[in-house]
Structure 1
Amino acid sequence: MLTSAAADCPFCQIIHLDDPDVREVYRDDQVVAFFPLEPATLGHTLVVPRQHVPDIWSLDEETASRLARVTVRLANVMRRSLQPEGLNVIQSNGKVATQTVLHLHVHLVPRWTGDAVGRIWPPETNYSDNQKDAAWEKLRAACREGMAR
């Protein structure tokens, strides 16, 4: 039985229902991988935990470990079978980061010269050294306090 959050989640519906229209490429007891409805490139695959997890901040380390292992294995399978020139591994959290489905997912996007994706980083930024130092010190201090959840 699905929780109310999972019942409204399109990825949970894919995970828990037998949908013949889903182009599933992999499934185990913790992770499912499938093509999105509108792939950025041919072979674009989503890797999702079977458990409903909305974002990386809600992810437990055991699920994260399995998700990472499957992501690496699928990246290698993708390289052998599709022979892309490159690969983007993208995981977004929150609306501002372009997360549109609130179920944690990792995009494996095979890349070729001239594909439709284009650049994913700005060509340059204009952060001052003071801004970079302030962010660095905040993060470094937080790490010193401990990496615990």
Structure 2
Amino acid sequence: MNCAFCALIQADSARWVARGPVASAFAPLTPIAPGHTLVVPTSHVADLFETPPEVLAETMALVRRVAGTMRSTLGADGVNILNASGPGSEQSVPHLHFHVIPRWHDDGFSTWPTGRSQHHVQGDPIARLASAVAG
């Protein structure tokens, strides 16, 4: 397997925030904010769609713990939690990961999309989703 995150985990070559048997957290190579952290399942799963529910639950629990620690330790006013899953999402590394980015009122950047999708879906997409989720 040629996964950059699995290689980091196996080689123990990351700057670790937390390490666990199910989920781990480490500093990215090019952080966009002080304390920017990546949270990943410790074992390889490609994306949100492939992740077993129990692994996703433990990974998200670590996301929450890291986010809370950013407020208490770094004085962050809030956090952004970013994920891209699947080839249409601009996912850059095929290993599920969440960017946990501390934010401050005066940090001078935005992580929100600046445009809108040009893709069109037949019918009412929210009604279709609600029906399928209930189904």
Return the TM-score normalized by structure 1.
0.80
Task: Give the greater-gyration-radius structure (CA).
Answer: 1
Deviation at 1:115, TM superposition (A): 2.8
| 2:21 is the alignment partner of 1:47 | no
How does 1:88-107 map onto structure 2 within 5 Å?
A: 88-107=80-99
Structure 2: unaligned runs, 5 residues or longer: none
Task: Identify the residue that residue 16 of structure 1 maps to in structure 2.
Answer: 10
More helix by share: 1
Give the secondary structure class of the aligned counterpart of 1:81.
helix
Task: Identify the residue that residue 26 of structure 1 maps to in structure 2.
Answer: 18
CA distance in 1, matches of 2:25, 2:76: 18
Between 133-142 and 99-108, report the one with greater CA deviation.
133-142
How does 1:58-137 map onto structure 2 within 5 Å?
A: 58-115=50-107, 117-122=109-114, 134-137=124-127
Structure 1 runs, 4 residues or longer, greater than 6 Å off: 123-126
Kindly tell me the number of residue pairs found equivalent between the two proteins: 135
Give the secondary structure class of the aligned counterpart of 2:18.
strand
| Structure 2 letter corresponding to 1:49 | P
Return the TM-score normalized by structure 2.
0.88
Give the secondary structure class of the aligned counterpart of 2:69.
helix
Deviation at 1:124, TM superposition (A): 7.3
Deviation at 1:33, TM superposition (A): 0.4
Cα RMSD over matched residues?
A: 2.4
Give the secondary structure class of the aligned counterpart of 1:107.
strand
- Alignment CA distance shift 1:17-1:124 (3 Å): closer
Structure 1: unaligned runs, 5 residues or longer: none
Q: Percent of pairs identical after alignment? A: 33
